[in-house]
């Protein structure tokens, strides 16, 4: 297991190097450079020239790349042109929001998806089954931003039950420790702050969790249908094990293997920044920052964030692979 983990971590090095070269080339191939983006409609050619000179953008691209690499190994991804602050500082300020949102979305997707998929499979062919199949198709098909607007219009504007944007009510003067707002509220015993942050997660998590939910329902359903027809389940039933034991030890555990892969992949995806959801809900996570960075050609943010997110993605996948070992002893042996 250790060798496996180390090998996977070492694979990160070529992945990140390759990614950094691609990113560097791609960003600089975009029309309009950071100078124009930073200076906006008032930029004169002289301003742009001066800007490029000051920030070394007039240097050959390979020199720029080597400088970037030199700093990046010390986790210094430079400064954001948009925020005028170090990229890593902005990242660690934004990432907790995205983690919170991802966790909330996945709790919703898993909490609803697995039971629903399981029940649909056990009642194969019933109305509930058909409804779950159609529902999950819809869930994948509806654009996230559209669903987000609908949810907000209904629950925030019309009914007024839930907050419709931001991470916390502006009138709450909360203490920040970790930038995980819910956690901070719990740690500081500011219960109202924690509760409010939690409420702010509901609508974005519903919008963001819909696609993973739909996928989890479908995979769980298909997987359970496969497993219940396996020989070992028939054997377990035949030897007189109680239905609950068969369900728990033989059906669910085996059916969850492909589901866990899906969950891992989806979590990795969501952690990379839910650009649309965060934009619609003005939710200050990495997705919103990435959106702005593309608009403003903030190369430093794009390079730094995407590389850091790649590390996160690889790590999440590693965890998924390790969890295989826990769920499936055969993988452990290998």
Closer residue to other proteins in complex, CB, 157/243: 157
Q: Supply the minimum distance, in Å, between the C-beta of residue 141 and other proteins.
A: 21
Closer residue to other proteins in complex, CB, 225/294: 294
Q: Supply the minimum distance, in Å, between the C-beta of residue 312 and other proteins.
A: 18
Q: Supply the minimum distance, in Å, between the C-beta of residue 295 and other proteins.
A: 7
Q: Supply the minimum distance, in Å, between the C-beta of residue 22 and other proteins.
A: 18
Closer residue to other proteins in complex, CB, 64/317: 64
d(CA 210, CA 233): 32
Closer residue to other proteins in complex, CB, 78/264: 78
Closer residue to other proteins in complex, CB, 34/209: 34
Q: Supply the minimum distance, in Å, between the C-beta of residue 332 and other proteins.
A: 40
Closer residue to other proteins in complex, CB, 276/310: 276
Closer residue to other proteins in complex, CB, 176/248: 176
CA distance readout (Å), 291 to 95, 214, 320: 14, 26, 28
Q: Supply the minimum distance, in Å, between the C-beta of residue 166 and other proteins.
A: 6
Q: Supply the minimum distance, in Å, between the C-beta of residue 214 and other proteins.
A: 24
């Amino acid at each position: 297991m250790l060798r496996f983990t180390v090998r996977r971590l070492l694979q990160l090095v070529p992945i990140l190097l390759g990614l950094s070269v691609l990113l560097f080339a791609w960003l600089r191939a975009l029309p309009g450079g950071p100078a124009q983006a930073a200076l906006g409609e008032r930029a004169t050619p002289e301003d742009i020239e001066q800007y490029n000179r000051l920030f070394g953008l007039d240097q050959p691209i390979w020199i720029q790349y080597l400088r970037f690499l030199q700093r990046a190994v010390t986790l210094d991804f430079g400064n954001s042109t948009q925020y005028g602050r170090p990229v890593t500082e902005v990242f660690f300020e934004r990432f907790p929001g995205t983690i919170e949102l991802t966790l909330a979305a996945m709790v919703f997707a898993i909490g609803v998806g697995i039971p629903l998929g399981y029940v649909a499979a056990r009642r194969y062919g019933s109305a509930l089954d058909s409804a779950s199949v159609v529902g999950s198709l819809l869930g994948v098909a509806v654009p996230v931003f559209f669903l987000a607007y609908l949810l907000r219009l209904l629950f925030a504007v019309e009914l007024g039950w839930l907050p419709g944007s931001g991470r916390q009510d502006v009138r709450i003067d909360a203490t920040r420790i970790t930038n995980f707002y819910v956690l901070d509220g719990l740690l500081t015993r500011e219960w109202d702050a924690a509760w409010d942050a939690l409420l702010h997660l509901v609508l974005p998590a519903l919008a963001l969790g819909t696609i993973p939910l739909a996928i989890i329902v479908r995979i769980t359903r298909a997987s359970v249908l496969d497993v219940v027809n396996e020989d070992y389940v028939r054997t377990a039933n035949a030897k007189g094990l109680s239905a609950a034991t068969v369900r728990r030890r033989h059906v669910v555990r085996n059916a969850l293997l492909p589901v866990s892969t899906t969950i891992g992949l989806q979590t990795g995806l969501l952690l990379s920044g839910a650009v649309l959801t965060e934009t619609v809900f003005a939710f200050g996570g990495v997705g919103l920052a990435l959106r702005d960075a593309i608009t403003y050609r903030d190369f430093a943010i794009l390079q730094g964030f995407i590389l850091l997110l790649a590390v996160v993605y690889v790590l999440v996948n590693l965890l998924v692979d390790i969890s295989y070992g826990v769920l499936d002893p055969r993988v452990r042996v290998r």
